[in-house]
Amino acid sequence: MASYIVRRVLMMIPLLVLVSGVIFIVIQLPPGDYVSRHVARLEMEGVVTHEAEIEALKRRYGLDRPVHEQYLLWVRAMLRGDFGYSFAVRRPVLSVVAERLPYSIIISVATLLFSWVVAFLVGTYTATRQYSPGDYIASFLGFLGLATPNFMLALILMWIMYSVFGFTVGGLFSPEYQDAPWTMGRVLDLLKHLIIPVIVVGTAGTAGSIRILRANLLDELNKPYVITAEAKGVPPFRRLCKYPLRVALIPFTSTVGWELPNIVSGETITAVVLSLPTVGPMLLRALVDQDMFLAGSLILFLSLLTLVGTLVSDLLLAWLDPRIRYDR
């Protein structure tokens, strides 16, 4: 197991290099370099720029060097924590991202956990009670969840919360906690505001996961090894958990990797509707504005999230399935 983990973590290095390379190319894609574009924009706004200033900027970003050196400079700067400058917001990228990324991560992870717990419980229930009324109801709700667009679900839930509970949804904090220091009250307030985004963002994925788990578990339930376990006297619940469920979870687990970026991109529309301070809307705006340092960094962070997601799912898989960890 240890050697598998080491190998798996080492494998992330070439992946990171590849991803950063692609992102660098994306940053370079718009015509002209970004300093010239920045200058052009400033001039359009009527700001007077000095030749020396422009040269300094260009030198700072190594724009006078060959492309591969620019890439290395860019990587080196990032390793030092300098992610460049957002020309649209006029602040260093890092500080802009730092405001929003944590909330994105919180929503993503909370959504993933919600989605897992619900899918696990409902999937197991529907598979073990195939064709029961509960199975039909869950399947119906599941398909409904798959088919309803996120923004609509968000609007419906907002309306329900407001008209039934008198609770205004929107943002991640109530006004009184908006700029307050972190206290227990603020955490609870955050959790309360998380419920709706998590349900909205998670529903489609959860419905999908339920179908996957149900189908896998149904496949496993009648496998000979399960009957063997029953024939040697293993009690029903323990048998379910130890034998078919564990195997059924294997394909389920391998979905985490791509579930994370799905959640982040699925979150964008929801975040706009619910005015959540997450990276989704920011990435959208950065791309529209051609604010390439910001966009590039955001994509980089999201890629990193994906890589970490796949790492976690691979480690979980190896733990669940010895065939993977012994495969050399």
Partner 1 sequence: MSFLRSADVGYRRFLMTDRILDIQNLKTYFHTQEGVIRAVDGVYLSVRRRKALGIVGESGCGKSITSLSVLQVIPSPGRIVDGRVLFYPEAESDRPVDLAQLKRHGRELRRIRGKDISLVFQEPMVALSPVYTVGNQIIEALRLHEPHSKRRARELAVEMLDKVGIPNPDVMVDRYTFELSGGMRQRALIAMALVCGPKLLIADEPTTAIDVTIQAQILDLIRSLQTDMDMSVMLITHDLGVIAEMVDDIVVMYLGKVVESGSLHDIFDRASHPYTVALQRSIPRFQRRGQPLEVIRGNVPDPYTRPQGCEFAERCPKAMNRCFQDKPAMAEVGDRHSAKCFLFTDEVESAPGREANVR
* Euclidean distance between CA atoms 8 and 298, whole angstroms: 25
What is the chain's alpha carbon radius of gyration, rounded to the nearest angstrom? 24
- Interface residue with partner 1 among 230, 241, 265, 288 (CB under 8 A) is 230
The interface mask with partner 1, positions 172-211, x = CB under 8 A, is: ----------------------------------------
Per CB under 8 A, does 247 bind partner 1?
Answer: yes
Contact 295, 281 (CB under 8 A): no
- Interface residue with partner 1 among 19, 229, 273, 279 (CB under 8 A) is 229
- Interface residue with partner 1 among 90, 184, 224, 328 (CB under 8 A) is 224
Which of 24-32, 153-161, 230-238, 256-264 is the region at the interface with partner 1 (rule: CB under 8 A)?
230-238
- Interface residue with partner 1 among 50, 80, 90, 232 (CB under 8 A) is 232
Beta carbon of residue 327, minimum distance to partner 1 (angstroms, whole number): 10
> Of residues 281-320, which lie at the interface with partner 1 (CB under 8 A)?
320
Beta carbon of residue 130, minimum distance to partner 1 (angstroms, whole number): 8
| Cβ-based nearer residue to partner 1, 217 or 279 | 217
Beta carbon of residue 195, minimum distance to partner 1 (angstroms, whole number): 36
How large is the angle between the packed helices 292-320 and 256-273, nearest 10 degrees? 140
Per CB under 8 A, does 243 bind partner 1?
Answer: yes
Amino acid in position 68: H
Quick one: which H or E segment has residue 86? strand 85-86
Half-sphere exposure (Cβ direction) of 8: Cα atoms closer than 13 Å: 22
Per CB under 8 A, does 225 bind partner 1?
Answer: yes
Per CB under 8 A, does 136 bind partner 1?
Answer: no
* Euclidean distance between CA atoms 168 and 155, whole angstroms: 12
* Euclidean distance between CA atoms 141 and 172, whole angstroms: 27
| Cβ-based nearer residue to partner 1, 175 or 224 | 224
* Residue of 133, 113, 302, 136 lying closest to 199 (CA atoms): 113
- Interface residue with partner 1 among 223, 241, 265, 288 (CB under 8 A) is 223
Compute the Cα dihedral for 129, 131, 137, 140 and give only its sign: positive
Per CB under 8 A, does 234 bind partner 1?
Answer: yes
Tell me, rounded to whole angstroms, the distance of Cα 169 from its chain centroid.
22
Contact 263, 276 (CB under 8 A): no
Contact 147, 291 (CB under 8 A): no
Per CB under 8 A, does 66 bind partner 1?
Answer: no
Residue ranges that bind partner 1, judged by CB under 8 A: 221-225, 227-236, 242-243, 246-247, 320-323, 326
